Structure 1
């Protein structure tokens, strides 16, 4: 069988896997949104055990089951209204895990057809690690370090699934990197794109730390915080203390008000840095895009950036309404995905133009003469 025959046979499989990978991406966004919803309604410990709920597969609701559950966990009596958000999140995460394992299994089975194997297997392994962090989130009683890493793990899983989707779609269409030669100024944007991606990741990490320490409500006015441009007494040392010991129940947070204000202000400053950096970078990239085909990718990042910044402002103005706060988390994922997509498109379409070797130029001149 020739390489071209193998490619033709792999396209239908890649097309189907691309659809499943797209579904996995969509479900990953839903899981992130459900995780935000669970935190915002203070249901992170709605079920004190893992993976079940008070030893049941679902939230206990009958009088008999509630009595059994309360006997098993006397320190955390059943609250059905908080148990369901937690379990719905777990069901969605479990379904995503099964879908990822299925993608990995099919990829391994058809590896001779040239389908990507290492990436699906890595994502499957990462899902197992993410599940462990989900367990530790409960067993360590919302320890901020674990909660923040669990949130970042969700965004990482989503980004990897997008990369897998893009690779499978390219293979399904039978395309390779175009190798389009463009102006060197556009090719030199690559490190700036990675710098923008790093800033977005750091800002997401700040957002995760803000959520894990319940610091979103530390400042309820704009553009100042508690009526001051630089609040007095901000405690950055305790606000960003990564050595907090395991043991207390961190539901609702354990930090002082000054520590939470420091976290909140840092998140605001990070948002301004990301807005300024991406704003300038996207403007310059748009002006130099030429015929590169990056138009849609650039616009997508710009729209996600504007929406995310607007949602962040609205969160503070309206005092963290549930739907806006969940949307803010979802759009954070959208901004990350749009940056990953832009970098992917840049890699596919932009290749640094190579100057011809001196002897080649001489030969060309002789032939022309």
Structure 2
């Protein structure tokens, strides 16, 4: 039963993350100016009278039904995921130490993630909070995948020691840093700061501002929607994200080569396929000016890449921080 709940939660978490990306990319992060409801109700105002009342209550944020629905659908799915993770935590209470640790960690993380969701709205898309919210969602998905792996290992002994497995966790760390850079890029609306590839347009070298680009921008009214960084700062953020992509790609290739040498051909091929697709999506985002479907897919593939690296690392060692014995 627990295994079924975990796998359903994995699918649900994937949906929540993609919906979150869609919400962010359609500028619907403040589609509802309050939390956890929307204009004081559990749904989006849908009648003329309800919309008028909402507009009077929140004159600074007039109702935009499409954006509000984007935001609320994301919240509904996130709330459902929270319930499933709470059930998993209860189920894991009498399980072995590794399972108990993972399930309880998930519960703590999803509670903190809910707080980040609230702060995203109340702090009006503060970039640091938005990036943290993205990383929290990714972390929940990865931990769910690790939990599923540990449960499977107890049934099938699906864990084998592999030499050079350090490459996997190092690559996972580098990919996580790159995802953080991507989150910072998105939260500061810097994804379209450079429109040429492989280098930025104009005299971009003369405009680099690392201190400004990686500091919290000032906002006179406390609202960070559509970004508060200057063009030079956004361009710097974008350039660093591109450079990070090169580094992350090299580390993923190294990890895939390590698996290939140990005979894990399908796993190595999977990693290489993901990184090729991810690089292609990143280039398309630049040259095609951030198509919505491509940008959402870019988030999804990054998630699959991070989760795959961590899961392969867990599967290639009898003992990890996620287990106190061979099978957790």
Q: Which residue of 2 aligns with 1:175?
A: 157
Matches within 5 A, 1:1-369: 16-108=1-93, 111=94, 116-171=99-154, 173-175=155-157, 177-178=159-160, 187=163, 189-227=164-202, 230-242=204-216, 244=218, 248-286=222-260, 288-290=261-263, 294-348=264-318
Number of residue pairs aligned between Structure 1 and Structure 2: 320
Change (3 A) 1:325 1:243: closer
What secondary structure sits across from 1:278 in the alignment?
Answer: helix
The alignment's TM-score, normalised by the length of structure 2, stands at 0.92
Q: In structure 1, how many angstroms separate the alpha carbons of the residues matched to 2:108 and 2:212?
A: 34
Give the RMSD, CA atoms, in angstroms: 2.1
Change (3 A) 1:240 1:102: same
Change (3 A) 1:114 1:258: closer
Change (3 A) 1:245 1:70: closer
Which segments of 5 or more consecutive residues in structure 2 lack a partner in the other structure?
A: 321-328
Change (3 A) 1:113 1:263: closer
Cα deviation, 1:216-275, whole Å, max 9, x if unaligned, reads 0001111121145x5321221110014757952111000000000000000000001111
Q: Which residue of 1 aligns with 2:325?
A: none
What secondary structure sits across from 2:269 in the alignment?
Answer: helix
Aligned residues of 2:152 and 2:158 also touching (Cα < 8 A): no
Cα deviation, 1:181-200, whole Å, max 9, x if unaligned, reads xxxxx52x132222111100
Aligned residues of 1:140 and 1:247 also touching (Cα < 8 A): no
What secondary structure sits across from 1:266 in the alignment?
Answer: helix
Cα deviation, 1:64-106, whole Å, max 9, x if unaligned, reads 1111111211111111111010001101100110111111122
Q: CA deviation at 1:348?
A: 4.2
Q: CA deviation at 1:174?
A: 4.9
Which segments of 5 or more consecutive residues in structure 1 lack a partner in the other structure?
A: 1-15, 181-185, 351-369
Pair member with larger Rg = 1
Cα deviation, 1:293-328, whole Å, max 9, x if unaligned, reads x22222221111111111101111111000000000
Cα deviation, 1:38-65, whole Å, max 9, x if unaligned, reads 1111111000000000001111010111
Q: In structure 1, how many angstroms separate the alpha carbons of the residues matched to 2:303 and 2:181?
A: 14
Cα deviation, 1:4-28, whole Å, max 9, x if unaligned, reads xxxxxxxxxxxx2222211111111
Q: CA deviation at 1:285?
A: 3.8
Q: In structure 2, how many angstroms separate the alpha carbons of the residues matched to 1:225 and 1:243?
A: 22
Aligned residues of 2:217 and 2:229 also touching (Cα < 8 A): no
17-26 vs 255-264, which moves further? 17-26
The alignment's TM-score, normalised by the length of structure 1, stands at 0.82
Q: CA deviation at 1:118?
A: 2.1
Aligned residues of 1:60 and 1:66 also touching (Cα < 8 A): yes
Q: CA deviation at 1:284?
A: 4.5
